Structure 1
Amino acid sequence: MAGPVVSDRIWTVPNLLSMLRLLGVPLFLWLVLVPEADWWALLVLAFAGVSDWLDGKIARAWNQASRLGQFLDPLADRLYIFAALLGLVIRGIVPWWLMAILVLRDVLIIGALPLLRHFGYGPLPVNFAGKAATLCLLYSFPLLFVAEYASLVADVARIIGWAFALWGTALYWWAGSLYAVQGLRLIDQTRRAERTDHEGVRTGVPDGDTRGGHTDRHDPTAPATVDGDPGAEPEGPDPRGHRDQGGTMP
């Protein structure tokens, strides 16, 4: 079954939803850091999560998948993760090393893009582990914000939030390793193909081609020859059945 057609359209409903999500990133960060209006910030995160799910559904149902949407959707996810992490770190809710671990993976992935482009490949498609990691992280951040308020709910939110955060971080790096393996395989395939093409150009004759030259491959239907003379008899046992002088029976 063929996948959805990806167009070059810009003004589609999914793209508009993705643009609204992007506009919510600075608003979310301002709400977290300036007035510390956490509940309003959580509403922005909730809108981002719902719109993320909705734009994919609409793109598939209305056949509005686009290249711009394929770029905007993961970009919005990354920016929300970064903004939420930055707010949590500045507020002292999560340690800085968690943000460093997650940002380092993205830096390595972005750093590999020029190498992939050099071999004719664009960004790799998002795999299932990457989607699961993003989902876990986006679930964890609201819970960690809620955990700042003293109550029984906050204690439960802290435990669940950290569980999602740690699982999301592990999956984030696992997805990165899968991207690395996939990228290395693509590069290796390209190098092998280039090496084969180069050898074909250098020899000028495809493998096994005998036009205008000599082939070492033996033709089983050709008569036996000795030193290129088809009339000579091949060496072997004496056809008269005698032994050679000084020879022994096998």
Structure 2
Amino acid sequence: MNVPTLLTWLRVAAIPLVVGVYALPQHWLSLPERNLAAALLFVLAGLTDWFDGFLARRWNQTSAFGAFLDPVADKLMVSAALLVLLQLGRIGSLVALIIIGREIAISALREWMARIGRSRAVAVNWLGKVKTATQMVAIPLLLYDGRLFGVLSAAWWGGWLLDVAAALTLWSMLYYFKLALAGIKLSE
């Protein structure tokens, strides 16, 4: 156990907090207060994602377990937030299915490629990083669901960005499948 791995575990622990905010009694927190709390928790969890990677590289504390747990924590956090947003009626089921389905498909693809010794063929690239960054901005905007700076609609911007993230999700999934197919042909 090291500090980067501890931060990743904190991100996992934040998942029930983000979901649980909406289960609190109405007299404890109003809906706008719940929205703000969930958005802030999601942003803090996202910051731990960046910070744990930074510290792992800086302090040379990378580990096989940390490399496994980090993307799992990210996928769980995003999936939980998307399910909350779906339940709240702030996103459509197709967008949630595209994003969550892609994560499952690519995780399975990476595992399979690792089994056949071709894991480098589907290593994370810039397209996946842009997709992740886009959804990590969209989700807290959708959770917040209020006005930004008194004039901008967080829901509108979050919805627009999540649609972009869904398009990038499909594009990146096709890209990874293409890379995997090329990797399979090389190993034959």
TM range (shorter): 0.7 to 0.9
Which residue matches 1:23?
13
Structure 2 contact 15–80 (Cα < 8 Å) conserved: yes
Which residue matches 2:74?
77
What is the TM-score with the length of structure 2 in the denominator? 0.84
Which residue matches 1:156?
153
Q: CA RMSD in A?
A: 2.3
| Residue correspondences, number | 180
Structure 1 contact 146–154 (Cα < 8 Å) conserved: no
Cα deviation for residue 154 of structure 1 reads: 6.9
Distance 1:78 1:118 in 2: 21
Q: What percent of counterpart residues are identical?
A: 32
Distance 2:149 2:17 in 1: 29
Cα deviation for residue 26 of structure 1 reads: 1.5
Structure 1 contact 28–45 (Cα < 8 Å) conserved: yes
Distance 1:151 1:65 in 2: 38
Distance 2:143 2:100 in 1: 20
Bigger CA radius of gyration: 1
Which residue matches 2:125?
127
Higher helix share: 2
Residue 32 of structure 1 is aligned with which of 19, 22, 26? Answer: 22
For structure 2, the 5+ residue unaligned runs are 26-30
Structure 1 contact 18–73 (Cα < 8 Å) conserved: yes
For structure 1, the 5+ residue unaligned runs are 1-10, 192-250
The reply to whether residue 47 of structure 1 matches residue 44 of structure 2 is yes
Distance 2:61 2:115 in 1: 30
Kindly report which structure 2 residues correspond to 1:149-228, keeping only aligned pairs within 5 A, or say none.
149=146, 153=150, 155-191=152-188
Residue 87 of structure 1 is aligned with which of 84, 88, 98? Answer: 84
Cα deviation for residue 25 of structure 1 reads: 0.9
Q: Which has the higher contact order (CA 8 A, sep 6+)?
A: 2
What is the TM-score with the length of structure 1 in the denominator? 0.65
Distance 1:111 1:151 in 2: 38
Matched AA of 2:134: C
Distance 1:151 1:56 in 2: 29
Structure 2 contact 11–48 (Cα < 8 Å) conserved: yes
Distance 1:50 1:141 in 2: 14
